[in-house]
Structure 1
């Protein structure tokens, strides 16, 4: 994998040419398709994370969400809806900071966050 990454560096100038980008984007649009709604509804996403503090204490979190394609859309729309009703102070926000740490658990198809 490292060798492929090094070889890819030589392609970088070619990939910076606008005509090449237009061609590749058009080609990808024709050959790459995401799953349809029926397939997405049968393929949930499982997220696992682990955090360790300086004392060595470990916390693990798990959550089941809807398919990541659907999750992206519903999360973005939820944030937009939130912004239409709330005017935050100027700053940079993550979706969780803006809408609450429990945002993902409130989205359709998402279960509760399990922390142990």
Structure 2
């Protein structure tokens, strides 16, 4: 849960801990971070989008690459997974922007 303060008003914005594989890739496609075809392939075939593969390729350690691929192969994506923070950082996203992906993804059901 994120608490934000504007003046004297405090609001709480819920960030779901988990979204589905489909929700994650659909949000990325809707934001133009991957193509719609890549999103569909990620969900139906299990092929990772080129943007994600490019990020993984930058990591010199093969064991870490494998671990990341395993995380992206999960049926549900946890906001707290270390790969999420790494992916966001490598995409230039703030933690708040990643939280918004989770919120937007949760709305897709």
TM over 0.5: no
Q: TM-score, normalization: structure 1?
A: 0.25
- TM-score, scaled relative to structure 2: 0.26
* Structure with max Cα Rg: 1
